[in-house]
């Protein structure tokens, strides 16, 4: 009878003894991430994607303020946006600035004086570049596609087709 009691009490005691204090846990996911405001806003800036040198294959967005503040009527907006979109790809091909490079950003795209045009077609964004594109690395292609989609449309998930001097990439979707 007593043996039974003791046997019953032992796990309880063990439970009490081991359960004291605050215990460590595994990583627990809790809800949404934080969303920060990035200045300048979408209308006054261009978003470029470079590669993080600390972790390869990882695109990091960079916000460049538009050099020429846009003035004009909303009707003319589309033309200017198109020009800005061209500009964005040109800037992308130029690579990260000195400040950006200091934070560990780099590009996989070759440094070229690119002649670029971006159009919005029924199948998505069409990009023409006067350089070879099929030899670009996977990360470089994603840089190109994400920057183009972001620059030409409000939705970076838009399908993008890139036509270079040696062939066509895509249509592909940006994934960041």
Partner 1 sequence: MRLPAVRFGLRTRLVGAFLLVAAISAATTATLTYREARSAILKQAQDTAVDQFRDRIGAQAVTLPMDEEQLRRACRSLAREGKPHPWTVFAEYGTLRVSSSDRPTSDVVTPALRAAARGSAHGSFQRVVKDGVPWLTVGMPALVDRGDGGQPTGLVLYAVMRLSTEEANVEAMVTAARDGALPALLIALVPALLAARSVLRPVRDLRRAAAGIGRGELGTRIEVRGSDELAGLARTFNDSSTKLQESVAELRQAEARARRFASDVSHELRTPLAGMLAVTEVLDEDAAQLNPDTATAVRLISTETDKLAALVEDLMEISRFDAKAADLHLDEVDVAEAIRKTLEKRHWQDRIRRELPDGIRAMLDPRRFDVIVANLVGNALRHGAEPVTVRLRTERRGTTDRLVTEVLDSGPGIDPAVLPHVFDRFYKADAARTRSAGSGLGLAITLENVRLHGGTVHAADGPAGGALFTVELPLERPSEPPLEGPSEPPSEPSLEGP
Q: What are phi and psi of 91, to 5 degrees?
A: -65, -40
| Measured distance CA(117)–CA(114) in Å, rounded | 10
Least spacing, CB of residue 129 vs partner 1, in Å: 23
Is the distance from CB of 131 to CB of 89 less than 8 angstroms?
no
Residue with tokens 């627990």: 28
Least spacing, CB of residue 152 vs partner 1, in Å: 12
| Measured distance CA(143)–CA(59) in Å, rounded | 7
Per-residue binding string, partner 1, 117-146, x by CB under 8 A, is ------------------------------
Structure tokens at 17: 């003894």
Residues contacting partner 1: total by CB under 8 A? 55
Judged by CB under 8 A, the stretch of 61-69, 71-79, 84-92, 121-129 that binds partner 1 is 61-69
- What is the DSSP secondary structure assignment for residue 103, as one 8-state letter? T
Least spacing, CB of residue 147 vs partner 1, in Å: 12
Judged by CB under 8 A, the stretch of 39-47, 113-121, 137-145, 159-167 that binds partner 1 is 39-47
- What is the DSSP secondary structure assignment for residue 19, as one 8-state letter? T
Q: Which is nearer to partner 1, 3 or 73 (CB)?
A: 3
Pairing outcome for strands 124-129 and 116-121: antiparallel
| Measured distance CA(160)–CA(156) in Å, rounded | 10
Residue 67 near partner 1 by CB under 8 A: no
Among positions 73-102, residues that touch partner 1 (CB under 8 A) are 99-100, 102
Identify which of 115, 116, 96, 91 has the alpha carbon closest to the alpha carbon of residue 107: 96
- Binding test (CB under 8 A) with partner 1, winner from 44, 54, 83, 137: 54
Residue 44 near partner 1 by CB under 8 A: no
Q: Which residues pair with 141 in a beta bridge?
A: none
The residues of the shown chain that bind partner 1, judged by CB under 8 A, are: 1-3, 5-6, 8-9, 12-13, 15-16, 19-39, 42, 47, 52-55, 58, 60-63, 99-100, 102-105, 150, 154-157, 176
């Amino acid at each position: 009878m007593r043996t039974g009691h003791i046997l019953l009490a032992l796990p309880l005691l063990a439970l009490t003894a081991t359960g004291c204090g605050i215990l460590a846990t595994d990583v627990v996911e809790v809800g949404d991430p934080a969303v920060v405001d990035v200045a300048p806003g979408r209308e006054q800036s261009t978003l470029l994607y470079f590669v993080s040198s600390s972790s390869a294959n990882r695109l990091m967005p960079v916000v460049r303020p538009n050099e020429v503040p846009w003035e004009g009527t909303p009707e003319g907006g589309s033309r200017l946006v198109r020009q800005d979109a061209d500009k964005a790809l040109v800037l992308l091909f130029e690579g990260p600035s000195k400040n950006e490079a200091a934070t560990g950003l780099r590009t996989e795209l070759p440094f070229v004086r690119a002649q670029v045009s971006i159009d919005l077609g029924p199948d998505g964004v069409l990009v023409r570049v006067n350089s070879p594109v099929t030899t670009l690395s996977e990360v470089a292609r994603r840089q190109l596609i994400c920057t183009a989609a972001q620059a030409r449309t409000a939705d970076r998930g838009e399908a993008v087709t890139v036509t270079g001097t040696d062939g066509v990439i895509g249509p592909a979707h940006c994934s960041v």
